Structure 1
Amino acid sequence: MIDLPPTVTLFTTPGGVEVAGFPAAGDEALRWWERLRAAYPASGRWPLLIEDDTPEYLEDSFTYASVAESLEQARTLDGAALLAADGERELAGLPADLAVAVRRELAGEGTWPAEPERPGFGLPFFRSGQPAQVTVALVPVAEPWLIPVTLHYGGWNKYPAPGEHAAIMRYWQQRYGAEPVVLTGTTVEYAVARPPLTRPDALALAWEYRLYNDGEYDLYRAETLTDLAGGLLGNPVWRMWWD
């Protein structure tokens, strides 16, 4: 058992489960995440770093599926197939020259950045790098990839709907060991045990990243798919942002 700081009830999930938490800042918040992640198999409570206004987004979800419907989607949908289908639709909607350019980059014909942007975790810090106080939330959940369903999270800012979001999280967890650490109304940040280590794999992930969210320009300063792949290559932290 872990001795926790005093906790308070933060909110109640749409399924009626209370989520408790406590404040922490900067590296201390990340250390708490690591300790609580290690204890998750016994506790059944997944740690998430959230902002004060995150519960407001959860109370005002824009998804119209019920929790039960989202859970069924999460368990039956294939996250890889969802992203692949999104990719085909994206390419079909691009002007021919842009579609050709994307396919050439995916084939490895782009110019790799000499010094790619490789951001670490963002939420427990201010932009200056100073520690910022956040909340360590303890979410009762059967699997970490079910977080979007448990919290009924998604459907705004081009976020995937909860069931689809969970299916994508499951796919990335199985393939890369990606686990959610940070969740706000505009961001998700992952700790990644097995990030891509080859350029082809990093390019494939970069394309999925673009289909999942649109944060590469702000978080990775990437102007091309290959720029983004350079930032994701071997990086144990992924930061996602929705405009």
Structure 2
Amino acid sequence: MALPLPDELSLLSGRFEARGEVEVWFSDELPEDLVELWPRLLESAEVTGLYPFICRRDDPYQVQDLSEVDAIRLDDVLAGDFVEYRRRRLPYWSNPAAGGDVLPDDDDPEDFGSWPHDPGPPFETWPGLAAGDPGTGAGVSAAEAGGWAVEELLGDEPFVHTCQLALVPARRSADVPAIVGWAAEAPVPLLCALLRSWEERFGARVVSGFGSALTVSVARPPLDVPHAEQLALEHVLSTADNIVDDPPTPFPEYANGLVGRHQWRFWWD
């Protein structure tokens, strides 16, 4: 059964469409006042259960079972993934001049050897999940950070103007990609497990998912480099291609860029 729309959208044209067992509302076009509207929609989602999401209504989709997300023990999974990631990358970190010839994984970029030297994460063993900000009120609200992320997205990403606004019935923002069926090469259950954890630790909220890119707003980003480095390793293990690899970015540079940053963007080629 479709939930009633928030009052803010009463004059906006759109329609409900079934995604699995739920009804998702899609606008016919993006609202002109989306930057101002977004914080109000995020705040009202706590009452209405309808989370805003920027996407393309006609993109292919594949609804995911949230029980697959529930089953993931994130720290254990990432610990195992880090062992495998380090095994594949260590030959390059140890001998960058050898380039891709020493990497056994066919999925690594063909021109890996010509990329700038990357020392990799400063961890020999899995350091555990990065600590979250305790949320003492010193930072900004999730709604405010969401508005900033939407404004940045609208200014920097020309293809966003081909999208629609969706309102997705969900218990939390982190589950939206699975419920709406955002389809990419991403491991969506693992990604949603990460998003749930980032939601709790950093005040993260999903903003958009179209094509192969996902955007997240962040109310409480890391404020120093050691904290950002631990978080950046989680970003790497999301498997997103743009983290370190595309464009080629040494791990320390990527981690430094997370300090104080209120928008995270991931894509899979």
TM-score with structure 1 setting the length: 0.75
The corresponding residue for 2:89 is 94
The corresponding residue for 2:58 is 55
Alignment of 1:214 with 2:222, yes or no, is no
Alignment of 1:224 with 2:240, yes or no, is no
State which of 66, 78, 84 in structure 1 corresponds to 2:73: 78
| Structure-1 separation of matches of 2:253 and 2:243 | 9
The corresponding residue for 2:165 is 136
Deviation digits for residues 124-169 of structure 1 (CA, Å, limit 9, x no counterpart): 23557x9946422111112212113312334x32x013x2222111
| Structure-2 separation of matches of 1:239 and 1:102 | 20
The corresponding residue for 2:187 is 160
- Please tell me the root mean square deviation across aligned C-alpha atoms, in Å: 3.1
Structure 2 gap segments, 5+ residues each? 1-5, 96-118, 126-147
Q: Is this contact kept in 1: 2:212–2:268, CA < 8 A?
A: yes
| Structure-2 separation of matches of 1:132 and 1:151 | 19
The corresponding residue for 1:195 is 221
Secondary structure, in 3 states, of the residue corresponding to 1:3? helix
Letter in 2 for 1:227: E
TM-score with structure 2 setting the length: 0.69
Letter in 2 for 1:56: D
The corresponding residue for 1:14 is 20
Alignment of 1:30 with 2:59, yes or no, is no
Q: Is this contact kept in 2: 1:187–1:239, CA < 8 A?
A: yes
Structure 1 gap segments, 5+ residues each? 108-118
Q: Is this contact kept in 2: 1:25–1:124, CA < 8 A?
A: no
Alignment of 1:124 with 2:154, yes or no, is yes
Letter in 2 for 1:214: D
Deviation digits for residues 13-44 of structure 1 (CA, Å, limit 9, x no counterpart): 12242333252367x32322211001111111
Instruction: Give the count of matched residue pairs.
Output: 216
